[in-house]
Amino acid sequence: MNPKAPKKNNIIYLKKGDQVHKVDARKPRFSVSPVLVFTVIVIFVGALGSAAAAAHMANTRQELAFERQRLNAQLDANRILAGQIIHPFSLEEIERIAYERLGMARPDPSQIIYINVPPVSHVTFNPEADILPRGTTFWEEMGAFFQGVFNRVFGG
């Protein structure tokens, strides 16, 4: 038999007793089904999405840690400043700070403008006076608002 001659038939018949078995002698080919291709693509896309989400989460955690450090530093600075201001400043202390730290000078008498303001009669500030009790409805708040406006305008 010539090795260059094409084989006409790749089917081999095996006979065992009375039975004949038909066997294909060609090389077996790997067949790819569309379901297998789709499954591999879905798994690949899912893995990429998971990796992207993990990278984004790591970046977000790093930004959050940085912001926490910045917040803690600001809170520490606020605590230090609050410790320095134990009592309110007097006018003499404000004047001393203006002279020493800011380099300010007392103005000349020609630079000072005096304004005469008439005294306000019997008006006192009570921070609790305008606060309505809890559970007040919108219409009760509006009624109290207009009653306050009326009282201030007409002195009632």
Euclidean distance between CA atoms 36 and 38, whole angstroms: 5
Q: Residue 95: name the closest of 85, 83, 107, 87 by CA.
A: 107
Q: What are 8-36's pLDDT values in tens digits?
A: 567 777 777 888 877 776 666 667 788 98
> Is residue 107 within 8 Å of residue 116, measured between CB atoms?
no
Q: What is the DSSP letter of 24?
A: E
Euclidean distance between CA atoms 22 and 104, whole angstroms: 111
* Domain presence at residue 66: yes
Does residue 6 surpass a pLDDT of 50?
Answer: no
Q: What are 65-104's pLDDT values in tens digits?
A: 999 999 999 999 888 887 777 777 788 888 888 889 889 8
* Domain presence at residue 90: yes
* Domain presence at residue 69: yes
Residues 6+ apart with CB under 8 A from 148: 130
Query: What are the φ and ψ backbone dihedral angles of 61, each rounded to 5 degrees?
Result: -65, -40
What's the number of domains the chain is made of?
1
> Is residue 11 within 8 Å of residue 25, measured between CB atoms?
yes
Domain encompassing residue 98:
34-108
Confidence (pLDDT) at 120: 66
- pTM of the entire predicted model: 0.36
* Domain presence at residue 135: no
Across residues 130-139, what is the average pLDDT? 70
